[in-house]
Amino acid sequence: MTKLAANLTMLFTELSFLDRFDAAAKAGFKGVEFLFPYAFRAEQIADKLATNGLELVLHNLPAGNWEAGERGIACHPDRVSEFQQGVDDAIRYAKVLNVKQLNCLVGIVPAGVSAELARATVVGNLKFAADKLQAAGIRLLIEPINSFDIPGFFLTGTRQALDLIKATGSSNLFVQYDIYHMQRMEGELANTIKANLAQIKHVQLADNPGRFEPGTGEINYHYLFKFLEEIGYDGWIGCEYKPKAGTVDGLGWRAAYGL
């Protein structure tokens, strides 16, 4: 059975963040995800989850100064201690919010940092985070991002993600597979997901072009939703798209796909 989670960073933005939980529940969602919880007390978010009977399925580790354009710091050699502190902060939130997996955005490679040094920094940071999260009973994910939306992002493909996982030697590091990002970078969505299903623990969706809701672009979601069930994917699918005409008005795509 397909399980859809509303991404509260992208959906219901007509409302303040804490009001989006109520709206997601009213719209029929049982799970939610978002980029970051750190601007709020964990207890505030936990209360919203409990009041609305929602499960928080994912959020990210701290990713530096988002407003200034940073998209993660795991590839920044001069900020390892900041990254490690962020891991501790994320675990503290995750325990209160009862979230079982966290995603690490590895970041844009800083100017002057070689590819070799960036990779070594990422591997070291991921090993640290995966070990700390494993001790806390939390799974760590990494997400390849397309280089059109975020030029210079270090991690841009599925094979690269799998290579990083292998390099860490960790049994607690997996892939967050974003259909939109990987359509732009790789295509071959169904075969890639099937071949790497054991390593993929979270899926996100949006259509392309535009990153709007399913049915607005080139991706065959009629096929993909059925395919994911057939191959036994039993995780959540995060709805991380930009509503084309308002969140609620745009949710009709779920019924169109029998969801």
What DSSP state is assigned to residue 226? H
**In whole angstroms, how far apart are CA 108 and each of 68, 134, 144?**
12, 26, 12
Angle at 76 between CA 71 and CA 77, to 5 degrees: 170
Q: Please pick, among 143, 186, 229, 230, the residue that the annotation labels catalytic.
A: 143
240 is catalytic: yes
Q: Phi first, then psi: what are they for 20, rounded to 5°?
A: -70, -25
DSSP reduced 3-state for 238: strand
Q: Other C-beta atoms within 10 Å of 82: how many?
A: 12
The contacts found for 187-195 with CB under 8 angstroms, 24 or more apart, are 189/219, 189/224, 190/223, 190/224, 190/227, 192/158, 193/227, 193/228, 193/231, 193/233, 194/227, 194/231
Rg (CA), the chain: 17
Is 143 one of the annotated active-site residues of the chain?
A: yes
Question: Quick one: which of 161, 149, 86 has its CA closest to 119?
Answer: 161
Q: Which residues does residue 197 pair with via DSSP β-bridges, in sequence order?
A: none
Catalytic site positions? 143, 240
